[in-house]
Each structure stands twice: as structure tokens, then as C-alpha cells.
Amino acid sequence: MISEKELQQVKNRYEIVGNSPLLNHALETALRVASTDMSVLIYGESGVGKEVFSKIIHQNSARKHGSFIAVNCGAIPEGTIDSELFGHEKGSFTGATEARKGYFETVNGGTIFLDEVGELPLGTQARLLRVLETGEFIRVGSSKIQKTNVRVVAATNRNLLNSANSGKFRIDLYYRLATVPIVIPRLSERKEDVYLIFLKFVNDFAEKYHTRYIELTPDAKTMLENYSWPGNVRQLRNVTEQLCVLERDGIINAQTLINYLPPESNTLPAVSPIKGGFENESFSERDLLYKVLFDLKKDMSDLKKLVFRLIENGGNHSNFIRENEGAIRQIFSDELKEQTHPLDFSISLPPINDHEPKHPIYTNEAEPHTIRIEEAKTIQEQERDMIKKSLERNKGRRKKAAVELGISERTLYRKIKQYELE
């Protein structure tokens, strides 16, 4: 049994804030399993601190004086991941100008943390299974069997059992990794801890940037605690840092705070892997698809409302445009970003009589200084545009774009190739 004193010492050492029962249970499990040599599978959304838990396990084990390395499996291209993990021989592939040791060789006697393990290709999964079962591996391009003694701690944000059932993950590897599962709760399940974590970050950033300490009004505190935090602790840290740097007033009310929180309508709550599991598909790719669909649905819905209001207005285009210019600019932001003159929105409405269909017909012919209502973009086009704009905003830095889009770097790399955005 882990005492409260021991638990608090671990929290202090690793700067973990909070007393949520779910968090305490996860920490107790990590400390109990640390002294063994069992494989551990950590479940949790992005930003909950899975790597911190892997370090707790390593540094409280008999391997604490050995090496520790964290590997993001989703950030390594499929063609090179075997070489990264298991090494390669000189000349084994184009660019292999010399032999190289892999992580399982260099970390012999220590611990390797495989984050986003569900992203591993099936071939690499077979190699990993062999290491876990026999401690043996073969470098790429070699036939010589080598031995290693490495403890594996894996982490994922999806239900690997569902992925195994759909053929995307080896079932035998799943059971080998999930000897001991640890579920780290998302921040929205730790509402009692949110404000405490916020205060910790306020103190850190006030000292770092030499700024004044900020305080929340009661309505802002309520908003902070009830927000869904799809980015979890990482997102809360970023929001707090922005508030400390950008807000000159030391008192933050709800109206100010809401400007730093993305709308919750576009966030999708994840499902606990214990209470039902994540979706079969890549959770990150599903998120991106839903973002595209939400944006597309919102634009079409707003466009329908504007058209019906125009019809009800009796075809008085000029008055309608003046009254609704802001909404039209919002929908056609890309087309209008360079325009500053009043809008001239041309829609042709045929005469309505008993012999003609009572539906508006929209022309595809555009006159000078008019905007044409075009067919809606496909989901693929919307997705391509979203990725392109994110890359532009982040000046081509793929890692930051991937974080902004909520997908792995490998998924982003594949999408860039697919849409020819190199």
C-alpha cells in the first residue's frame, strides 16, 4: 500500500498537482509496478502527461541507473522506424553509409518508452513482439541475432484491443504490452484539480517572465473548471502562459478568459478505454475529419439562412447586403479577404407562377465585382485547405502544424504527400 506521504513526495518530485481519486489511483499503480520488470501500457489523451508516468516507473525501478529513452512512434516515418528501433548495417538501404545501433541496443539494461505505440506498422510490431518475448532482435540488413535486456513502457490514446480486432494491431502484441494497464484521466475528469494546476502555472510564469500574478474572478474560475480542455494539461499551461504575458490587468474575468478558449462545439470528447474504448480508426485522423465536417456544415447552414432571408426580403439585394455584410464576409472569408468595397451579391430569382417550380435558381455567371455561389468543396478539399493553412500559419513547421491540427506528425506527413503540399 502506497502511503499518502509517499504519494505526495512523488507529486512534488515530478511537479504533479492535484488530488483527484482517478489521478491518485494511476500514480499508485505506477509506483507498485515500478519495482517489477513487467511491461506497462499507459492509456491517456494527448497532453495528460503519459511521458511523466513512464519516467516515474523507470526512476523508481531497479533500472533507474540505466538509460531511459522516449520514442514517439507516430513521428518517425514508416520507412525508417525499423532502423531507428533496431539499427541497421552499412549498405542495407539507400543512405546507409555506415552501421548504426538502434534504440533497443543503446538502451540495453534500461527502459524504452514507446509513445503512440498504436502507430507502429505491422512489420515493426512483429519485431517488437520478438524483443518482448525473447529479448532478441536483428538489425535491418543483417542476419545476426542480438540480445537486449530492455523494459518497455508503451502509451497510446486509442483502444489497441479495438485496433487489434480490426486488423490494425497485433492481438498477441497487445496482450504482451498490456501486462499492467494504467489509465491517466483527462483534465475534464479532474475538475477539482483544474484551478490548483492553473495557480501552479501562474506562479511559474510570473517568475519566468517577471510579470504580476494574475487572479480569476468567480465567474472566470467557474468557466475554467467547467471547460472541456481537449488539450488537457498542456492546453491549460498554454492558456495560462498567454494570460500571464498578454493581459496587463491582474484580474481576469470570464469575458477575458473566453477569448483564450477555443469554442467547445468543435471539440469531441474521447471515450475511456476502460468504459468502452476509443474508436477503431486513428483517433487523430477522425478528429481532423470531424473538424472539416463541422466547418462545412456550419458554412452551409449559414449560407441557407442568408439565402432564405434574401428571398423573404423580396429581392432587395442592396439593403440585404448592407444589413448582412458581416455574416457574408464570414462565410466567404477567403474570397473577400482582399476586398474593402461594399459587396454586390448577384442572385437571379425567376418569376414564380403556378407553372414554374417555386425554388430559387442560382446563376453560375459572375459579373464584375460580384461573388458567385459555388458548389461546396469536397471533404478532401476542405481537409487539404485546412492542412495548407496550418502549415502556412506555422511557416512550414510540421510538428507545430500537427499539434494545431490534432494529428500525429506521421499522419500529417502522409497527408502532405497525398495532397502534394511539399
Assess whether 166 and 221 both reside in one domain: no
Integer Cα distance of 75 and 47 in angstroms:
16
Residue 373 belongs to a domain? no
Q: Which has more pLDDT, 92 or 87?
A: 87
Assess whether 171 and 251 both reside in one domain: no
Assess whether 151 and 217 both reside in one domain: no
Q: What is the pTM of this model?
A: 0.63
Backbone angles phi, psi at 237, to 5 degrees: -60, -45
The domain boundary, picked from 240, 266, 292, lies at 266
How long is the chain? Answer: 422
Residue 321 belongs to a domain? no
Residue 377 binned pLDDT confidence (cut-offs 50, 70, 90): low
Cross-strand pairs, 312: none
Buried b (16+ CB within 10 A) or exposed e, 362-398: eeeeeeeeebebeeeeeeeebbbebbeebbeebeeee
Residue 300 binned pLDDT confidence (cut-offs 50, 70, 90): low
Provide the grid cell at 132: 518482448
Grouping H, G, I as helix, E, B as strand and the rest as coil, residue 138 is: strand
Residue bearing cell 461594399: 342
Torsion angle of the four alpha carbons 181, 153, 271, 23, in this order, in degrees rounded to the nearest 10: 70
Residue 326 belongs to a domain? no
Average pLDDT of span 181-194: 95
Count the alpha carbons within 13 Å of 52 in the hemisphere toward its beta carbon.
19
Which CATH number characterizes residue 172's domain?
3.40.50.300
pLDDT tens for residues 301-351? 666 666 666 666 655 555 666 666 665 555 555 444 444 444 444 444 444
Assess whether 149 and 203 both reside in one domain: no
Residue 367 belongs to a domain? no
pLDDT tens for residues 151-175? 999 999 998 989 999 999 999 999 9
Average pLDDT of span 90-96: 84
pLDDT of residue 54: 97
The domain boundary, picked from 183, 215, 238, lies at 183
Which CATH number characterizes residue 387's domain?
1.10.10
pLDDT of residue 191: 94
Residue 341 belongs to a domain? no
Which of 371, 362, 357, 384 is CA-nearest to residue 304?
Answer: 362
Assess whether 79 and 161 both reside in one domain: yes
DSSP notation for 87-98? -B-TTSSTT--S
Integer Cα distance of 230 and 187 in angstroms:
8
Domain tally, the chain: 3
Assess whether 93 and 142 both reside in one domain: yes
Integer Cα distance of 169 and 166 in angstroms:
8
Assess whether 163 and 179 both reside in one domain: yes
Which of 312, 306, 376, 297 is CA-nearest to residue 345?
Answer: 306
Residue 51 binned pLDDT confidence (cut-offs 50, 70, 90): very high
Integer Cα distance of 210 and 204 in angstroms:
10
344 Cβ contact partners less than 8 Å away, ≥ 6 residues apart: 317, 321, 367, 369, 370, 371
Residue 100 belongs to a domain? yes
pLDDT of residue 22: 95
Judge whether 152 and 132 are in contact, CB under 8 Å: yes
Judge whether 123 and 106 are in contact, CB under 8 Å: no
Which CATH number characterizes residue 200's domain?
1.10.8.60
Angle between helices 283-312 and 317-331 (to 10 degrees): 170
Residue 365 belongs to a domain? no
Average pLDDT of span 89-105: 89
Assess whether 100 and 197 both reside in one domain: no
pLDDT of residue 28: 96
pLDDT of residue 381: 78
Strand order in the sheet with 111-115: 68-72, 111-115, 151-156, 40-43, 180-183
Containing 42, the helix (H) or strand (E) segment is strand 40-43
Residue bearing cell 525508417: 80
Which of 190, 160, 192, 157 is CA-nearest to residue 176?
Answer: 160
Provide the grid cell at 330: 464570414
Provide the grid cell at 262: 477555443
Assess whether 178 and 199 both reside in one domain: no
Integer Cα distance of 320 and 339 in angstroms:
18
Using CA atoms, how far residue 84 sits from 46, 124, 170, 253, 347, in Å, is 23, 11, 20, 49, 59
Q: Which has more pLDDT, 269 or 48?
A: 48
Backbone angles phi, psi at 183, to 5 degrees: -105, 115
For 81, the domain range is 4-183
Assess whether 163 and 93 both reside in one domain: yes
pLDDT of residue 306: 63
Cross-strand pairs, 70: 113
Q: What is the DSSP letter of 133?
A: H
Strands (E), 149-258: 151-156, 180-183, 215-216, 251-252
The domain boundary, picked from 132, 164, 183, lies at 183
Residue 271 belongs to a domain? no
Assess whether 20 and 125 both reside in one domain: yes
Sequence letter at residue 126: A
Q: What is the mean pLDDT of the chain?
A: 81
Integer Cα distance of 79 and 76 in angstroms:
8
Assess whether 31 and 79 both reside in one domain: yes
Separate counts of helices (H) and strands (E) for the chain: 18, 9
pLDDT of residue 118: 95
Residue 404 binned pLDDT confidence (cut-offs 50, 70, 90): confident
pLDDT tens for residues 213-268? 999 999 999 999 999 999 999 999 999 999 999 998 889 999 999 999 988 744 44
